[in-house]
């Protein structure tokens, strides 16, 4: 889909230079940037990313972290 948008000159110039450096078109650069921005601000995508990390590393703290936290907690005056 074609869309007309207004972009401030400094941002346009930076994007143009980046597209040349990456060897891509401005259209592809803008599409990738907008996709990344939309994904970054989609609560469902954020939750999915967090869940993927938890699935990959697990949700059990390792023994080093557990021992370190316990040592620190014993030093705190309650």
Give the separation between CA 11 and CA 18, rounded to whole angstroms. 10
Q: What is the DSSP string of the chain?
A: --------HHHHHHHHHHHHHHT--HHHHHHHHHHHHHHHT-HHHHHHHHHHHHHHH-SSPPHHHHHHHHHHHHHS--
Model pLDDT, residue 31: 96
Residue 76 has pLDDT above 90, yes or no: no
Find out whether 19 and 29 touch, Cβ atoms under 8 Å: yes
pLDDT band at 26 (very low <50, low <70, confident <90, very high): very high
pTM: 0.58
Query: Does 17 or 41 have the greater pLDDT score?
Result: 17
**29-72 pLDDT tens trace:** 999 999 999 988 888 888 998 899 999 988 887 889 889 989 99
């Amino acid at each position: 889909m074609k869309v007309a948008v207004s972009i401030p000159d400094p941002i346009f110039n930076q994007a143009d230079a980046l597209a040349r450096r990456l060897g891509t078109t401005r259209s592809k650069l803008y599409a990738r940037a907008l996709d990344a921005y939309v994904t970054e601000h989609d609560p469902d995508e954020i939750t999915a990313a967090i869940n993927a990390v938890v699935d990959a590393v697990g949700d059990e703290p390792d023994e080093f972290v557990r021992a370190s936290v316990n040592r620190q907690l014993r030093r705190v005056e309650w």
